[in-house]
């Protein structure tokens, strides 16, 4: 994204991605989509199915982790100035309720807590189609100067 619009701020970059209607490859693999973005806020949706189960038959914990990491990351991205980049340093997940292939359309909403010169903090929560809280996350992200593309 920042490679495509390096002169734009984070919100403009994410909005440009949203406008294409395409998802990065991880989103395509998991069939998880960014559906909303504002400055400091993002929403992802996904419908877990039989392709994302763990050996116990529940939804693999990585599915919710991927949605929550994405929600925290894009919430932080949308708060950045032009020329800044970021990456997740740490992600803490609380699995409150198990997801199943019957959970329906799940929504992960991310929110930035603070953005400093070097570190951003974000949090996210994931609800199932019935509106039940299934998982929460807190994330620490490193903010750094974007490297120009070679």
Ligand X SMILES: CC(C)(COP(=O)(O)OP(=O)(O)OC[C@H]1O[C@@H](n2cnc3c(N)ncnc32)[C@H](O)[C@@H]1OP(=O)(O)O)[C@@H](O)C(=O)NCCC(=O)NCCSC(=O)Cc1ccccc1
End-to-end CA distance of the chain: 15
Cβ(74)–Cβ(32) below 8 Å: no
Q: How far is the CB of 94 from ligand X (least distance, A)?
A: 8
Query: What does the DSSP 8-state code read for residue 53?
Result: B
Nearest residue (CB) to ligand X, 21 versus 55: 55
Beta carbon of residue 108, minimum distance to ligand X (angstroms, whole number): 14
User: By C-beta, is 6 or 61 nearer to ligand X?
Assistant: 61
Q: Max Cα separation, the chain?
A: 47
Binding site for ligand X (CB under 6 A): 54-55, 58, 60-61, 95-98
Closest CB to ligand X among residues 97, 127: 97
CB of 105 to ligand X, least distance (A): 17
The residues, ordered by sequence, that sit 6+ positions from 22 with a Cβ below 8 Å of its Cβ are none
């Amino acid at each position: 994204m920042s490679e495509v619009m390096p002169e734009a701020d984070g919100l403009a970059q994410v909005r440009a991605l949203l406008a294409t209607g395409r998802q990065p490859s991880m989103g395509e693999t998991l069939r998880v989509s960014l559906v909303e973005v504002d400055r400091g806020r993002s929403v992802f949706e996904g419908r877990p199915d039989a392709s994302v189960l763990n050996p116990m038959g529940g939804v693999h914990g990585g599915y919710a982790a991927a949605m929550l990491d994405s929600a925290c990351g894009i919430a932080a991205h949308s708060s950045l100035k032009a020329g800044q980049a970021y990456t997740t340093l740490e992600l803490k997940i609380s699995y409150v309720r198990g997801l199943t292939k019957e959970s329906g359309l799940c929504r992960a909403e991310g929110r930035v807590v603070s953005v400093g010169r070097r570190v951003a903090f974000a949090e996210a929560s994931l609800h199932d189609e019935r509106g039940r809280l299934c998982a929460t996350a807190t994330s620490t992200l490193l903010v750094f100067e974007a490297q120009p593309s070679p």
